[in-house]
Amino acid sequence: MTTTHASASPAEAAPAKAGARQWLGLAVLLLPVTLMTADLGVLWLATPYLAADLRLSSAQLLWITDIYGFLTAGTLVVMGTLGDRLGRRRLLMAGSAGFLAASLLAAYAPNAGTLIAARALLGVAGAAVLPSTLALISHMFADARQRATATAIAMWVTALSVGLAIGPIVGGVLLASWWWGSVFLIGLPIMAIALVTGPALLPEYRDPGAGRTDVPSVALFLLAVLPLVYGVKTVASHGPTTTAAAAFAGGLAFTLLFVHRQNRLAAPLLDLRLFRDRAFTGALLTLLLGMTALNGVEYLVPQYLQAVAGLSPLEAGLWLLPGAAGLVAGSQLTPPLARRFRPAYVLIAGLLVSLTGYAAIALAAGVALASLGLAVIMFGAAPISVLGTALAVGAAPPEKAGAAAATGQTAYDLGLALGIAVTGSVAVAVYRSGVPGDTPAAARESLGAASAVADQGLLTTARESFTTALQSASALSAVFALLTAVLVAVLLRKVPRITSGD
C-alpha cells in the first residue's frame, strides 16, 4: 500500500495469500454489502409511491431518504471501534440481525414517523455491518495485492455497484405487483444467509491491546457528530436558522471536548494519530466531497424517469442499469490503473470524466440522456470508492483496521447523505420557484403530490419545474466534483502508485 503499518508481528511481516475459506468468507461478507445499496436503489423507485400513500411532505420525504445515511455516518466510528474491541464477526452478526428486524418494521410502517424511525434503526445496524466487513477483509486478506489493489477491496466496492444494479430491477418487479413496503423485504433472505454461514466461514478478530471501551468518549462522539449532521440537514432544508446555529455550536463544543479526551486516553475511541497521515486525511475528504457530488443526481434521476418521463418502476430500473454497469466497470478498471499510475492521476481522470456526465444532464433533458449521463458519472466516480477506501484502510496498522474502515465509511456515507440533503434541498427550492404561488400547498411540496391534482396544465408546469430542478442539482454536483479534483491534486499528488506489496 501507500503507507507502512506500525509494528507488525513476525507472522504479519510475511503475509500468506488467502485460500478457499477466505474467498468463501468474502462471498458471505459481500452479501450484506450488496444489500446496503440494493436497499437504497429500491427506495429510490418506491419514492413516488411512498409520497402518495403516506401523504408525505417534501421534508418528510428527504428525512426518509437520508436519515439512514446520517445515522450510519453518526455511529460508524463508534461501531468500528467497538468491533475492534468486542470482535468484528460478533458485531457483524449483531448488525445483520438488527438490519433484518428494522427492515420488517420499515416494510409495514403505517405512517411517516414510523418509517423514519425504521430507517434510522437501519442506519445504526448498517453502521455495525459495513466497517465490520471491511475490517474482516483487512484481516483475512493479509497480502497487500489481494486486499487492496487486485481483488478484495475492489470486489467490496463492486458489491456496492451490484446492489445498485439489482436493486432497481428487483424493486421494479416487486412494485409492479406488491405495495411499496415489499421493497424492504429483500433484505430478509440476504441477512439470514449471512447469519447462518458467517460463524462457520468468518474468523473472529479483535484488537488484543484495545482495552476497555471508554463510554464517555462514545457519548461525546455522538453528541459531536449528530448535532452537526442535524445542522447541515436543517440549513439544507430551511436555510440558516437559530436552531441550525445552535446545533452547529453544540456540535463544535462537543467535538473539542471529544478531541481533548482522546488525546489524554491511552486507548482512545478514535486514534487521532491516523489523521497525521496525509493520504488518510486526503482519502477521507475525497470520499466526502466525491460522494456528495454523486448522490444528489443519483437520487433525483429515478424520480425524473418515473414522475416526469412517466416510466413504470420496472422500465425506470432498466434505464438505471447503465449507471450501475458504469460503476461496476469503473471499479474493476481502477485497480490495474492504480498499479500503473499514481492514485491522484486516476482519481482526477475519473472526476474529469464524470464532469461530462454532469454537464449532459445539466444542459439537456430526456430519458436517454439522463441514463447516459448517470452512467458516465458513475463510471468516473468509481475510483473514488475504490482508492479512497483502500488508502484509508491501508493507512492504519492491522489492529486499527476497524476504526480506519469505519472512519473512511463515515466520510463515504456522510457524503452520500449530504448529496441528498444539499442538492436535494436545492432541487426542492428550484421546483417550488417554478410552480405558481396559487397552487395548492401539497402540489408545491413535490411532483408526486402535483400528479394527484386533476389539472393537466399544473402537471405540465410541475414536470417542467422538476426537470429544471434536476438540471440545477447536476450543475451544483459538477461544482463539488471540481472541488474534489482540486483537493486530490493538493493532498494526494505525492502518494506513489500502489504496488503489490511484500
Start-to-end CA distance of the chain, whole Å, equals 10
Which stretches within 87-148 are classed as H helix? 88-107, 112-140, 144
Q: Average pLDDT over the chain, rounded to whole?
A: 77
**How far is it, in rounded angstroms, from Cα 127 to Cα 414?**
12
Separation of alpha carbons 76 and 74, rounded Å: 6
pTM, two decimals, is 0.71
Segment 141-184, tens digit of pLDDT? 655 554 444 466 667 777 776 776 677 777 777 777 788 888 88
Q: What are phi and psi of 257, to 5 degrees?
A: -65, -40
Residue type, 487: L
Q: Are the CB atoms for 258 and 467 separated by under 8 Å?
A: no
pLDDT tens by residue, 218-245: 788 878 877 877 776 676 556 678 888 8
Residue type, 105: L
Contact at 8 Å (CB) between 86 and 137?
Answer: no
Q: What is the distance between the alpha carbons of residues 439 and 425, in angstroms, rounded to a whole number?
A: 20
Lowest-pLDDT range of 317-321, 326-330, 424-428 = 424-428
Contact present, 259 and 374 (Cβ < 8 Å): no
Residue 211 sits at φ, ψ, to 5 deg, of: 75, -175
152-177 and 367-394 helices, crossing angle to 10°: 140
Handedness of CA 357, 361, 365, 371 (dihedral sign): positive
* pLDDT tens digits, 24-61: 777 788 888 787 777 766 776 777 777 777 777 766 77
Q: Rounded to whole angstroms, how far apart are CA atoms 209 and 199?
A: 23
Residue by residue, DSSP assigns 218-230 as: HHHHHHHHHHHHH
CB 379 within 8 A of CB 328: no
Indicate whether 314 pLDDT > 50. yes
- C-alpha grid cell, residue 498: 500502489
Q: 334: closest CA among 452, 144, 498, 460?
A: 498
Instruction: Among 100-109, 230-239, 342-351, 468-477, name the one with the lowest average pLDDT.
Output: 230-239
Burial of 178 (0-12, 13-18, 19+ CB in 10 A): exposed
Supply the pLDDT for residue 194. Answer: 81
> DSSP letter at 7?
S
For residues 180 and 182, give the distance between their C-alpha atoms in angstroms, rounded to a whole number. 5
**Tens of pLDDT, residues 250-301:** 989 999 998 899 888 877 777 777 787 787 888 888 988 888 888 778 778 8
What pLDDT does 455 receive?
59
